[in-house]
Amino acid sequence: MRAGRGRGLGKWLAWVAVFAILITGAVAAGANATDANAADAPFRLDAPPKVAMVLFSQRSDGGWTNAFDAARKQMEKDLGQTIDYYNNVDADRAHIFAATERLIAKGNNIIIGTGYDYSEPFTYLADKHPNVAFLNGGGFTNGRNLQSFYGRTFDSQYLCGMVAGAMSKTGRLGFVAAFDFPTVVQSFNGFTLGARQMNPKATVDVRFTKTWADPNVEQDVALRVIDGGADVIGQNVDTPRPVVVAQARGILATGHHRDLTRYAPRATICSSVWYWERYLTPTVRAIAAGTWKPDPNGAVPDFKDGPSDIVINRALVPDDIYMRVMQERQAIINGKNIFTGPIRNDKGAEVVANGKALSIADISTITWHVQGVATPEQHPQQP
C-alpha cells in the first residue's frame, strides 16, 4: 500500500496475480506444518525480541524514509534497545533480500520494511523464516508472521487541504503526486475535499511525477503546476523539492511525510506528517508479549491512535483558520469519516450517496477522483 512503493498500477495488478500463487503456496505449506488451531494462534517469537529496519532510501531524504528513521530513534528510547538498520535499500529485489537476510543472520527477529516494493520479497522471506516477525510500511501482503501497515494520510491531507483552500486567493490549487493509484489517490482526494470544505469552488490541478523520489522531476512538475495557475500546491512525493519551488516562486505549499517548514519557512503552511512509532512501538511490544495476530487485510490504524497527523505553520496561518482546522482534526479523532456523501467524482457522477460513508477497505482501493480534481486527462501534454 503506501504511499508505499511501486512503479505504477499495471505492475501492481501484475503482482496481485503473482501473489495469488505465492500466497496459495504459502498457505498450503503452512497447512502441512501446523494444524488449523495453531494457524489461528497468536504469533510467538522463539527468542527475545530484537528489532531491525530496512530503509528504502537515504535517511536524510526529508520525506518517507526520514520519517521512519525518526521513528527508529524514538523506538530505541521507548523499547530500550538499539535498532539495527540498512539504509538506501531500493526497490531492487536482490537488494531487499540481501539486506534482510543479513539482518536476520545477525539475530534480528522483528524486521520492519518500508516500502510497497518490499511486499513480494517479504512474502517469500516470511515463509522462509517462520520464527521472524515482518512488518512492512506501505506494503499490501499479509500472513501468519507478516503485517503490512499504513496510516490514514487521507485525513491529514484533508486537514492540510483545508488550510490550502482557506489561504488560496484564487481557488486554483495544485498537487504534485507520485502515481495515479489508490494510496496516492486517497491523498489528493482528501486534499481536494478539505480545500472545497473551505472554498466549495476550489479546484486542484493534479499532475504525476511517476516516481517516488526524484527531486528534479518533482521540481519540473511543481513548476508546471504553478505555471498552470496554482497559488497553493500540495504533494505526495518523497522529497521537499515542491515546497522549495513554491517558496522560490512566491506561492504557498503544504508538505508531506515530515514537517517541511524548515525547508521552506515562507511557503509551508501545513504538513501531513508521520509518527510511525505510534503504531510500531505498541506492535513490537505485542509481538514480544506473544499477543500479536496480523490482520489479513493489513493494518490501517485510525487517526486517533495511528501514525498520521499534521503540523500547521502558525507563523503563516491566521488564528481563525488554525482553530477551524483543529476543530475538524478533533472531529476526525472522534470518528468523523471524511468520505461521507454526498460525494461526486470529477465527471460529476455521484459516487457516495448522501449519508453513506466509505469503509476503510473502500478507501484503500479507491481509484476515482473527487469533484474538483483535474488530472493529465485535462492537460495531456504534461507528465
Q: List, for residues 337-369, the tens digit of each pLDDT value.
A: 999 999 999 999 999 999 999 999 999 899 999
Asked whether the predicted pLDDT for residue 304 surpasses 50, the reply is yes
Return the CATH class of domain 9-151+276-289.
Answer: alpha beta
For residue range 229-250, list pLDDT tens digits in order.
Answer: 999 999 999 899 999 999 999 9
Q: What is the pLDDT of residue 60?
A: 84
Distance of alpha carbon 97 from alpha carbon 177, whole angstroms: 29
Does residue 378 have a pLDDT over 90? no
Task: Provide the grid cell at 145.
Answer: 508472521
Q: What mean pLDDT comes out for the span 292-308?
A: 92
pLDDT over threshold 80, residue 226: yes
For residue 130, which of 278, 26, 245 has the smallest C-alpha distance? 26
Mean pLDDT, rounded, of the chain: 89
Q: Is the pLDDT of residue 61 over 90?
A: no
Tell me how far apart the alpha carbons of residues 40 and 280 are, in angstroms, rounded to a whole number: 22
Per the structure block, which three cell numbers stand in for 284?
A: 513490537
pLDDT tens across 111-138, in order?
Answer: 999 998 999 999 999 999 999 999 999 9
Measured CA to CA, the distance from residue 255 to residue 145 in angstroms comes to 34
Cβ burial 67-93 (10 Å sphere, 16+ → b, else e): bbbbbbebbeeebeeebbbbeebebee
**Residue from 301, 308, 361, 291 nearest 133 by CA:** 291
Which is higher by pLDDT, 306 or 287?
287
Q: Are 238 and 30 a contacting pair, CB within 8 Å?
A: no
pLDDT tens per residue across span 72-100: 999 999 999 999 999 999 989 999 999 99
What is the location of CATH 3.40.50.2300 in the chain? 9-151+276-289, 153-273+308-374
Sign (positive/negative) of CA torsion 310, 312, 317, 321?
positive
Average pLDDT over residues 158-168: 98
pLDDT of residue 228 exceeding 80: yes
Percent over 90 (pLDDT), the chain? 80
Q: Which residue has the higher pLDDT, 39 or 315?
A: 315
pLDDT of amino acid 379 = 57
| Mean pLDDT of all residues in 201-221 | 95
This prediction has a pTM of 0.86
Instruction: Say whether pLDDT at 40 is over 80.
Output: no
Q: CA-CA distances (angstroms) from residue 39 to 142, 144, 194?
A: 14, 7, 43
CB 234 within 8 A of CB 188: yes
Give burial (CB, 10 Å; 0-12/13-18/19+) of 124: middle
127: cell is 515463509
Q: What local confidence, expressed as pLDDT, does residue 306 receive?
A: 85
**CATH architecture of structural domain 153-273+308-374:** 3-Layer(aba) Sandwich (3.40)
Q: How confident is the model at residue 383 (pLDDT cuts 50, 70, 90)?
A: very low
Q: What are phi and psi of 233, to 5 degrees?
A: -125, 150
Of 286, 260, 264, the residue nearest 273 (C-alpha) = 260
Q: CA of 155: how far to CAs of 125, 182, 297, 303, in Å?
A: 33, 14, 20, 7
Confidence check: pLDDT of 150 > 90? yes
CB-based burial, 310-325: b 16+ in 10 Å, e otherwise: bbbbeebbeeebbebb
